[in-house]
Structure 1
Amino acid sequence: MSIEAAKAGFEASFKESDYYNKQTQDENHLNNILKTINIEPGMKILDLGCGSGYLTFPIAKRNENAYVIGLDIVTDTLERNTVKAQEMDIKYLEFISYDGITFPFEDNSFDLVITRYALHHFPEIRKSIHEVARVLKREGLFFVSDPRPNDCDVTRFVDEYMQLKKDGHIKFYTKDEWVQICGENKMHLIQSFDSEIRFPKKKDTAEGFEEILARHERAIIDSYRLIQTEDEIWVTEQVNNLLFQKKGET
């Protein structure tokens, strides 16, 4: 059910691209990611939860000798991505849909798996991370960029808040949780940096917001620098940017 909710929510968001872009686009963050993953000629790269191709297109465009695949559940959006890739004459770029659980690829297929602002929607995170490790080659790299709860947020206000949108949000993970989950699959942290996302939500998608505020301590809520305007709610979320390397067979 959460996968279907995510699919419906994001198909709608990607069609309303201007507001979604306002929520997620950040050129400085994009450039920091591209510097961190350090793509080499001939690499085969998987963009997991690629959405409208925010990472996929610049990676493929800047690395013409790499083969890039965008994987997601949003079939309509992937069809538009495919048309866009053809119009841009990007040869080694492909978009593939899947069921949200099992990757449609053979073992040891990719040199690099990347994902940005997607994994908090995955309902079976350990299964998904196992799939990442399975399709990675030995010594392959896994880069994850995803918001995290603030250190003081022991009651997980941020997860309740994000679930108001009904788009399949499951959970934000701490850095330690990522290290543990990836470590279970023989992927070890080799590099990281921090960033943040200033995130707007339309008030008409936030039914139950006042009830959530009442359930959590004010200090926790204030730590997200929450601001309300006439029709929007803004929060600031810290983001984990973590690069892992596969050190053995899974």
Structure 2
Amino acid sequence: MKRDSYESIERTKKGFEESFKSGTFYNEQTQDQNHLELILNFLNISPGMNVLDLGTGTGYLAFPIAGKYPEAEVTGLDIVENALNHNRKRSETEGLRNLIFLSYDGLAFPFADETFDLVITRYALHHFPQIADTFHEINRVLKPNGKLFLADPAPNDNDDKRFVDAYMQMKKDGHIKFYTKEEWLKLGELTGLQFADSFETQIRFPKKKENAPEFDEIIHRFDQQVIAGYDIEITESEIWITEKVNNLLFQKRNGENL
């Protein structure tokens, strides 16, 4: 099982390294200023808090949080060294002394128990091969009553055969699956994280046709009504798709390390 997990992590790492090398396409397609503002206003961050940005990528959440809350300590954690090195240089340039970036193996977090007041993660968890183990790690590093905020795309309600996952897996970047809100709530309940609040948004982004060689075959394999629900638009060089996004807040049940 661990071997399969590490192979998946290596695919993810390779896929994102290639994306970063190819320019700003990936970063631009996932940017959403309205969503970012919603998240920043939703999170109740106060001075002295210790915040972990899990799967930080380009630091899309880490940088604005560190800038807005200079008396909070922010740590960005990821497996992609190229992105982390770029983030470290940017953090130094911007003089953000409350922000650091660390790498890890994609499974075990390199932190002591009860280190963080808040764990945040955006558009990352669908790449994690052992999601229950990840939730246990989140529980472990959270302080009593600490919180987890996650934002991740979700399948449409009628997509029980998961067209959207087959579509996302064409890129070969380690995509595992998108989870429904109910699946997230069950994971939280099993790992000592109690649901606290939520809101729903959407993301509409392109995939380069060159990264979707199996698209025609996938389109014909799934129900057309299901596919239509994702509002797919095909241009000369790109495929656009709309996905809803779950934004969920959990709180660690007091004193529970599972």
Band of TM-score, shorter chain: over 0.9
Residue of structure 1 equivalent to 2:52? 46
TM-score by length of 2: 0.95
Residue of structure 2 equivalent to 1:116? 122
Residue of structure 1 equivalent to 2:97? 91
Residue of structure 1 equivalent to 2:28? 22
Query: Which letter maps to 2:107?
Result: I
SS in 2 for 1:68: strand
- Count of residue pairs the alignment pairs up: 250
Segments of structure 1 that go 5 or more residues without pairing to the other structure are none
Superposition pairs of residues 1-250 of structure 1, within 5 angstroms:
1-248=7-254, 249-250=256-257
CA distance in structure 2 between the aligned counterparts of 1:93 and 1:32, rounded to whole angstroms: 21
Give 1:17 shift: 4.1
**Contact 1:69–1:94 (CA under 8 A) maintained in structure 2:** yes
SS in 1 for 2:217: helix
**Contact 2:27–2:58 (CA under 8 A) maintained in structure 1:** no
SS in 2 for 1:8: helix
**Contact 2:127–2:175 (CA under 8 A) maintained in structure 1:** yes
Query: Which letter maps to 2:153?
Result: P
Q: CA RMSD for the aligned pairs?
A: 0.8
Name the CA shift for 1:245/1:17 in 2 (closer, same or farther; >3 Å).
Answer: farther
SS in 2 for 1:20: helix
CA distance in structure 2 between the aligned counterparts of 1:137 and 1:204, rounded to whole angstroms: 45
Segments of structure 2 that go 5 or more residues without pairing to the other structure are 1-6
SS in 2 for 1:172: coil
**Contact 1:52–1:77 (CA under 8 A) maintained in structure 2:** yes
Per-residue CA shift, 1:6-38, capped at 9, x if unaligned?
111112222334211331000000010011112
Give 1:139 shift: 0.5
CA distance in structure 2 between the aligned counterparts of 1:15 and 1:56, rounded to whole angstroms: 21
**Contact 2:200–2:246 (CA under 8 A) maintained in structure 1:** yes
Per-residue CA shift, 1:51-81, capped at 9, x if unaligned?
0100010000110000000000001210111
SS in 1 for 2:71: coil
Per-residue CA shift, 1:89-110, capped at 9, x if unaligned?
0001100000000000000000
**Contact 2:132–2:191 (CA under 8 A) maintained in structure 1:** no
